[in-house]
Structure 1
Amino acid sequence: MKVSTIGECGLIERIRSILPQPRDAVLGIGDDCAALRPAAGTDLLLTTDLLVEGVDFTLQTITPYRLGRKAMGVNLSDIAAMGGLPRAALAVLAMSPDGEIEFVDELYRGLHEEGVRFGVEIIGGDLSASSTLTIGVTLVGEVKTGRAVTRSGAKPGERIWVTGRLGAAAAGLAALKAGCRLRDDQVEIPFEVSESLREAARQAIERHLCPIPRIREGRALAEAGAASAMIDVSDGLALDLVRLCRESGVSATIKADRIPIDQAAAAVAQRFGHDPLAMALQGGEDFELLFTSSWEPADIAAIFPDVVTVTEVGEVQHAGQECRVERQDGSTVTLTGGYDHFGRR
């Protein structure tokens, strides 16, 4: 059934029936605004992200359910990077009136279920007709007053850390461009590969389609006061480190042999002729946390006893030079690359 069959009011009611009645909001869907009461002693965090068909996704490579999960997940990652707790979301959808109602059902199911994983309720939003499918989420979070971790606190001499492993999302995108597809939880590959590579491709594609926001890790760093500056790796470690250093008025050097490259990413990258290190540095959409700290390695490790790995990758330096990466032979090159929405393609 097409969306035009039931119209805007009918679609709003259908979406409303998919989503449970918010418990945490003062007002939810049905008024001109939703209403949320901040918890005492907290600052509000606000973030928003757009996913545009043909730019951020294609419907040939992602299901509406996974698209909903990703739209929520990329916003959750921003809250994680501030050390915050996500609370409520507004979802915006622009699509063709000829679009299928079942598509909307699955999209909002994905939005809702990814939100539920992290205690987020969808309390409002907007709908519009458009020839370009666009999904936007605005997420509200909170953090203890004055405890938000920004990009501007890094100091020379501090260590640079990253959670998890990098490159999987970029490797997943490379696999999709090569014709691989994820159907339910099985990967379809249009050529013969080993079972180990098939599993690596499945893992990489899953990480690309459904990122894992590091909410727990970000909050742990903020509550411990361990991170002086933090950013989520959305556009590539190289570009996001430069952004953090620019806001802090510092520079940095990272070591190539310390970059934690995802094993699945490495296998997929090599199969499709890509450099695993380049994918880890420049690929983007890993949504791991990149942070700086004056703490000793053992103290940082103690914050993450059984959650994810955390790796020291470099050192913050005084301003006056460009951010650099040190190769294994000791030579250094300027840190470049990463995804720029308005850069040349």
Structure 2
Amino acid sequence: MNILVTGGAGFIGSHIVDDLVQAGHHVHILDNLSTGLKENVNASAVFHHGDLLDHRLAEVFAAAQPEVVIHHAAQIDVQTSLTNPLVDAKINILGTIALLEQCREHGVRKLIYASSAAVYGTPQYLSIDEAHPVRPLSFYGISKHTPEHYIENFAFLYGMDFTILRYANVYGVRQDPKGEGGVVAVFVDKLLGGRQPVIYGNGEQTRDFIYVKDIVSANRAALDKGSRGIYNISCNEQTSVNDLLKEMCSICGSSFNPSYEPARTGDIVHSRLDNRAALKALGWSPAFTLRDGLGATIAYYKMQYQAGF
């Protein structure tokens, strides 16, 4: 199968590309390397250096002739969306529209879209299922949710299939702790570097953490399942930031000694996503416990530190 992965040099996208290549698919990558890394690009994939609003996007589609497009290229940082909402909207909303137009022009069978738990905002109940009201607290949440409507309408108007995956808090190997990385990568960087981790708020806020390889398997399942559906991809478990850091300290052999800073604007207090719809429609379930995923992630970064990176 010919598959185009946008953001395929990034943290999550590169893992998906590796899996697709291993499965024997013909994979093209579109990435502008603003946050992705060239060293993440699978040697068996075809790499196109560019972004979604590049005038050469049509050329990428003509070269790739994709049957399926997996869309991960995005502005992913909540704080950036608050300080620069125009850039956030340009990348996440207008970029997705440009992609959809090329999908229509080139007869793409299906689009798989990486959405976010940020679309829900403050939970009215836990676990959050897909019927939960959508009331994002940040511009990032708005810019990830708005494309869902465009995708649904393009599908209705032009017959394209889609699956929308709303991710919980993803962590794992290749996540950049020095850029817009998630809390796990940031904590690993601090712990292995012998520096004090910072927790925003009192640390009792909870998140639903999911290992990147479980995200990969959900995307693999969505290639042929989950037609025109929206699904939470999560572990359906709550872990406080304090407990997360304690677990990581245990694995690293470090003492638990964080500093606490004021909570950040746009951050919710508690989150847990109900994943039962994905289990039913995609035949998917998470395979990694939090400790297993953290262990694999920390082992990777330890190797990087020992190699001098």
TM interval, shorter chain, is: under 0.3
Higher relative contact order, structure no. (Cα contacts within 8 Å, ≥ 6 residues apart)? 1
Q: Name which one, 1 or 2, has greater alpha-carbon Rg.
A: 1
Higher normalized strand content (fraction of residues): 1
More helix by share: 2
